[in-house]
Amino acid sequence: MTYQASAEFERVAPNLIERARQFQAAILCDVAGRRGTMHSRIQPRNPGMSVCGPAFTVEVRPGDNLMFHVALAVAKPGDVIVVDGKADATCALFGDLMVTQAEAAKLGGFVVDAASRDTASLSEGAFPIFSTGTNPCGPTKGLPGRLGTPVSVGGVAVNPGDLIVGDVDGVVVIPRDEVEAVLAAAEKKVAIERQRIEEIEAGILVSPWLDDALKQAGLPTLEAAAQ
């Protein structure tokens, strides 16, 4: 078994990652078919934290972080370590030491479906951390797991190299081969929303699509209901 081989997979292109940084997770989710968002239990340790980068996937047994440590040793700069920790919150899978190592390795962030600790210091840091709650208890380091394979994290399938985007609303996963199309759609959506905000500020308060949506639902339009 060669651990370094687990880090050799195709990643979303750097230029697409930079384009993705300008968008909220919510925008990307909307234009990706309103799918790909992780369970809301996975939250940033500080509301100001955001993450954007290719997924380096890890699967561990509940409460054991051995393979998480291996991922730290072999992941590449910019990688977001995404851990299927089975949503276990009975102990923390990482804390100050592992985050310090990740920062030194210039990784992109952690998205962990398990608990973290050392919250007071980590929440004040610059390194992006998304986890399932907190717990002061530390993990064991003795059970095998998997690196660089498809995983399920927060109810979402994640493949190595997929785009991970997270902010205060949560985390969305964009499949690597769909990123370019999703970003193009996101740019259009942002432009449409900007136009709608300008209309609201100009006094046009009712959304232009609302009457059509009411008709399709078999309901009277606003004008008909007012008569």
- Tell me if 117 is assigned to a ligand binding site: yes
Question: Residues 156, 173: contact at Cβ < 8 Å?
Answer: yes
Q: Give Cα separations from 158 to 95, 133, 150, 153, 211 (angstroms).
A: 23, 21, 6, 7, 38
- Tell me if 98 is assigned to a ligand binding site: yes
- Tell me if 49 is assigned to a ligand binding site: no
- Tell me if 84 is assigned to a ligand binding site: no
Residues contributing to the annotated binding site: 95-98, 117-118
Binding site, annotated residues for substrate? 95-98, 117
Task: Indicate the annotated binding residues for Mg(2+).
Answer: 118
